Structure 1
Amino acid sequence: MHGRVKVRTTAEQEAIKKIERAKKVVLYKAALNIVFQKRNDKIFDDELFMTSEQMLLQNPDIATVWNIRREAIISNDWKDEEFTKKMADELYLTERCLRENPKSYSAWHHRCWIMDKLPESDWKNELLFCGKCLDLDERNFHCWDYRRYLVEKTCIPDAEELEFSTTKIYKNFSNYSSWHYRSKILSKMCPDKSGDLPIDSETHKEELDLVMNAIFTDPNDSSAFFYQRWLLDYSKSQSNKLWRAKITNKKAIIIFHDDTSIDDNKPLIISNDIEIPATWYTNNNKKYSKLWIAKFENEQNEFDKLIIKINNDTFELEPTNNSWYYYSKYSLVDKHNKEQLKEQMDSYQELTKMEPNNKWAVLTGIFIMKNYDFIEYHDKILEDLSALIKIDKLRSNYYLDIRSKCIMDYKLHTIWQDEKIDKLNDTIDLSNLNMTIIYNEHYLSLFEDVNLSGNDLGNSLHRLETLEECKKLSLSNNNLKSIKKLQKLNNIEVILLNDNQLTNQDELITLINNNKNIIKIDLRGNPICNDDKIVENLIESFRNIEILV
């Protein structure tokens, strides 16, 4: 046995590390007590600087200690020469800290503070320092933020910085920070006057060529794909902010395309040139909402003429089926150059042939097809999403949600295609589509019969609070294990919950109590129906409701 080196066991090694950590903790606490005590006593001497320096070299992310050092520097009445030397020492300290942790928020922040406090800052040297840091790690976004700070201070022309980003990108196409930096520079240098694109059309085309070159060079890297997404993300806008409005003698419902606040300028409902007093609210009590509801202070008689005024816009309503409606077509304004998009689409088809299992290529191809014509390419989009689910199983839920959004867009577009003010749909069938999320749910607000059966919407029940006019809701066969998040539905009369996995009696009782207009609820095919006591209790407690078990 002699002459052999003893190999320590894992348990022994862990015990030694534990002892070492305990010693470090004791020293750290002692140092922290010294720093805090001196700060309380307003003693900003060399011991404070030395102790705090040792702490920061071990852990540069202690923001409080950096704050104390700044307080100490400001509190000392140094002469100009002494102050300049001290600040130079601070710069060197941050440099040493950044060697240990190049992504320390606190160290980079302290360096900015020093440069602002120095009477004569050496900006040129700082740019060289920043360049060296980026040479070591060109994707260090802290360093890129610091460079933006330096550029702003030194007024370096945008053209020079664009060239700098180009150099970094050609050195490494995987440099996400440089792509992002480039987007910020180009937005300032080459804005699109029409607002249709993120940058002017000529530069836009050049950038698309550059990014496509990067994608074909390294199709497995995500950086270029994200930059291309930014270039192509100015595709659609709504032609009218107010989508629809419905007014009865008791209330008004208005639906916007986007989240809107009306706190500062509430809509005015005017009948025969007289404003109708109303209280506005949202179902979720949020300041910004796509759906706003107004209750009239007094029940109104028949209207001869109705208009809604929102800011400087006036919307005239028309009478239909005992209600008054404002109706605007859901029209999408295409801002893209179709020819350019087609070129991109052809390039991606070529890339996916070369790299059939490249998730970024398939996903971006889907994005381009959606922007080009989501109706024409609907089937192809769903086909590619199914392929993505197999290629990238870890993100399958994400792709399933994208699939659900595409289906919702397609179905709503189909329903509204031939809709007219005198023939508005009050029924929507979204059954058996295997959707996992409800998307743009505010567009469902005026439907009275909503069929969502045959999906998997257990995580979207809270979104159904927008079904303001719904009288019949089908959620059968949705794999529901809980209905706790199914909110109060003001007009609901029939809820179909059959063929789910419901077991909680209290949730059902709460649902019924919260919705006073319910006359029928279908629970057949749920495990809860196997408990005779629960069934008997539900039927006995709610005799005026038809409960199917």
Structure 2
Amino acid sequence: MVRLTLDLIAKSKNHFKKKRGLSFAEYLKTLTHLHFSSKNIEDIGDLSMCRNLTVLYLYGNQITQICNLDFASNLTHLYMQNNNITHIDNLFNLRKLSKLYLGTNRIAVVEGLEQLCELKELHLENQRLAPGEKLLFDPRTLLSLAESLCVLNINNNNIDDIKDLTVLRELQQFSAADNKLHNIEELEDVFSLWPQLLQMDLSGNPVCKKAKYRDRLITVCTNLEILNGREINELNRQFLINWKACKEAKKKKNNQRMTTGQLVPHPLSSNMGQGPHPGHVYSHTMQRWKPEQSLRAHKLNISGLLGRVAVSPSLINGHGDA
């Protein structure tokens, strides 16, 4: 088993080179960057003498657990992608950590980040999950990152909803490509609460196949500059925003008319009870009014009226008006 220890650092040609008057212990105190990527490392040993370490590269190894980093209170960047890590543990003392790379591991739950109040970037793409499993988020961790996190990458993790991420209102870059997001209304609700969002990638999700999904997201994300790798034209955005506002205003007006009982008259309603104009054609119970029918009806009405006048008792008795 390959273990990252001080002895391994001492043997590395890329690190300790003894300088005149500088001991190994003194060198470790000045060390800020440690490069041990793709070295088949399976475990992290005691590195507590490297107290000024700020950047640690451990990607591409066989590490299964994050451990022995309590000493690294000055660490700002931690690269541990492409390992075999199953849980996010033992990071509570890394209060200055700003970038955390944990992509391509075996993490099923995002947790254990409650103390990382300065974390700005979190990369969790391509977790090697069990069949049917999806990446989940601990609400406590999300809440603790709400005021700091600016970049989140959760590509290809079988995620089908992001409602839990609503609290991350400082996000500027969001990548959730190749997941199972399908509900456009849910996405609109979440993105409307991310006013700082500048770049977003949702490519490879079912929602991208829905009609006008891009237009709808552009109108919701008013500061978005890039969507799925394509820049957003500002004139196009303004047109879509104005179109949406006009549509909503019209809908609101119609709703108000319905609630107050002010129904919009049908084009034919103004002629109700008067009969059609000569030559007018309309549909009623799948029948058409024809000009000759209109003329015939008028003749019948006149004949009936003359008949009633002819037999009026008042006229017979001589009491009618002259």
TM-score by length of 2: 0.39
* Structure with higher RCO (Cα < 8 A, 6+ apart): 2
* Largest Rg, 1 or 2: 2
